[in-house]
């Protein structure tokens, strides 16, 4: 009979492989769900309106990092929270992983890692498409690749952790509210469609939006992709993303444990 010790890393790898297998099959739907909205925005605000002369052409430099931030964070949040709500609320499908011979929290951590991966994939798909649609973008550079990777991974982790918290803390019947009440305002006040520095015209808002973690992702993308444009201080941005990850991972793991163990 199987009685040998199974290292948690092996269990983790197996569960991650399961998520990768399922995600690969769902890839077309996943991409539709997470990249269609940002790309539609790119078409109107990055292509049509500038051509009509209603928006200055340089606006694309502001929009590209914002749209990347949006696809990255939306897909990271959703890829963790939606299955979580479904699993705990209705189908109990996650049970077979909760019975794996490893600490239960490992299953939650795996979800965050898988969410980070999916967020990264969404960003990687949107970046070239957006660039293609918008044409040459003033100030765009890939010279800060390490920064781009760091911001992407950290932002993915932060929003996957937020997804873990939302997915375990929100009652299944209220999942619609997550989009309208939480994600909606988060997107509008997330400095995705305008730079944070530009908010100096409404000083109160400039400081109020700082509680919104999406702000740091948008500004982080600006620091990495269009560093010559105005953007938030890099250490502040990185510290805020790290803090978001730690806080929501802690809250999320606690909420997960509560849902998983009766």
Partner 1 sequence: MSAAIETRSLRKVYPAPPAKRGRGGPAPSKTPSPVVALDALDLTVDEGELFGMLGPNGAGKTTTIGILTTRVRVSGGEAIVAGANVVSEAAVVRRRIGVVPQRPNPDRGLSVVENLIFHASYFGVARAEATKRANELLERLGIADKRDGKVDALSGGQQQRLMIARALTHDPRIIFLDEPTVGLDPQARLGLWETLRELHAQGRTIVMSTHYMEEADQLCDRLAIIDQGKLLALDTPSRLKAQAPGDTLVEVTFDADVAPVVDAARALDGVSNAEGRGVLLRVFSRRGGQIIPALIDAGEARGLTVRDIHLSRPSLETLFISLTGRKLA
Min dist CB 96 to partner 1, Å, is 5
- Give the shortest CB-46-to-partner 1 separation in angstroms: 35
Interaction of residue 24 with partner 1, rule CB under 8 A = no
* Per-position b or e across 173-199, b if 16+ CB within 10 A of its CB: eebeebeeeebeebbebbbbbebbeeb
Q: How far apart are the first and last CA of the chain?
A: 30
Alpha carbon 115 to its chain's center: 8
Distance CA 228, CA 231 (A): 8
User: Is residue 20 a contact point for partner 1 (CB under 8 A)?
Assistant: no
Candidates 48-56, 96-104, 135-143, 200-208: pick the segment binding partner 1 (CB under 8 A).
Answer: 96-104
Among 4, 52, 128, 204, contact with partner 1 (rule: CB under 8 A) = 4
- Record the tokens describing residue 221, joined without a space: 């993308």
16 binds partner 1 (CB under 8 A): no
Q: What is the DSSP letter of 197?
A: G
Nearer to partner 1, 117 or 221 (CB): 117
Residue with tokens 């983790």, as numbered in its chain: 12
- Helical spans, DSSP H, in 94-139: 95-98, 105-134
Among 20, 36, 44, 93, binds partner 1 (CB under 8 A): 93
Q: How many CA atoms lie within 13 A of 31 on its CB side?
A: 11
- Minimum distance of partner 1 from residue 9's CB (angstroms): 10
> Shortest CA distance to 120 belongs to which of 71, 191, 167, 190?
71
Q: Does 3 bind partner 1 (CB under 8 A)?
A: yes
- With CB under 8 A as the contact rule, the residue among 20, 36, 95, 188 that binds partner 1 is 95
Name which position in 102, 154, 191, 214 contacts partner 1 (CB under 8 A).
102
Instruction: By CB under 8 A, name the binding residues for partner 1.
Output: 1-4, 6-8, 10-11, 14-15, 17-18, 21-22, 25-26, 91-93, 95-104, 261-262
């Amino acid at each position: 009979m199987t009685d040998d010790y199974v290292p948690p890393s092996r269990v983790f790898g197996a569960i991650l492989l399961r998520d990768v297998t399922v995600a690969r099959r769902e890839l077309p739907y996943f991409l539709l769900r997470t990249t269609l909205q940002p790309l539609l925005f790119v078409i109107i605000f990055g292509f049509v309106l500038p051509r009509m002369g209603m928006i200055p052409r340089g606006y694309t430099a502001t929009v590209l990092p914002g749209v990347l931030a949006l696809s990255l964070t939306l897909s990271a949040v959703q890829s963790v929270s939606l299955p979580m709500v479904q699993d705990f609320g209705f189908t109990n499908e996650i049970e077979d992983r909760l019975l794996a011979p490893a600490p239960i929290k490992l299953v939650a951590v795996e979800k965050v890692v898988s969410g980070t991966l999916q967020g990264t994939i969404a960003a990687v798909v949107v970046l070239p498409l957006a660039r293609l649609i918008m044409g040459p973008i003033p100030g765009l550079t890939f010279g800060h690749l390490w920064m781009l990777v760091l911001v992407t991974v950290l932002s993915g982790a932060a929003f996957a952790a937020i997804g873990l918290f939302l997915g375990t803390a929100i009652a299944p019947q209220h999942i619609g509210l997550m989009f309208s009440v939480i994600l909606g305002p988060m997107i509008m006040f997330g400095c995705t469609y305008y730079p944070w520095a530009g908010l100096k015209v409404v000083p109160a808002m400039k400081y109020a939006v700082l509680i919104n973690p999406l702000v740091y992702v948008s500004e982080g993308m600006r620091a990495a992709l269009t560093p010559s444009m105005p953007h938030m201080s890099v250490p502040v941005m990185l510290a805020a993303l790290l803090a978001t990850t730690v806080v929501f991972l802690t809250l999320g793991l606690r909420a997960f444990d509560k849902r998983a163990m009766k």
